[in-house]
Amino acid sequence: MTDKLICVAKVAKRLDCSRRYVYTLIHNGKLAALRIGEKYGLRVPESSLLNFMKTRRINAADYDS
């Protein structure tokens, strides 16, 4: 099965953040991405997004408010 590729705007929507933040995550190596075109067109494999979300998950008991 192939990994679904998600555009940066849809990743931002799923994470409820800005596209700029998604680009920062990609630039800092925290989120894997593929460049589809010469200059534009970054896509994030769905498995990369799910892995990122899994590593960022916290337990309610561990949350300091």
What is 23-60 written as a DSSP string?
Answer: HHHHHTTSS--EE-SSSS-EEEEHHHHHHHHHHH---G
Domain boundaries, the chain: 5-53
Query: Letter for the amino acid at 41?
Result: G
Please say if the pLDDT value at position 1 is more than 70. Answer: no
Query: pTM for the whole thing?
Result: 0.82
* Residue range 9-65, pLDDT digits in tens: 999 999 999 999 999 999 999 999 999 888 778 999 999 999 999 998 877 776 665
Residues 60, 24: Cα–Cα separation, whole Å: 27
Burial category of 11 from C-beta neighbours within 10 Å (exposed 0-12, middle 13-18, buried 19 and up): buried
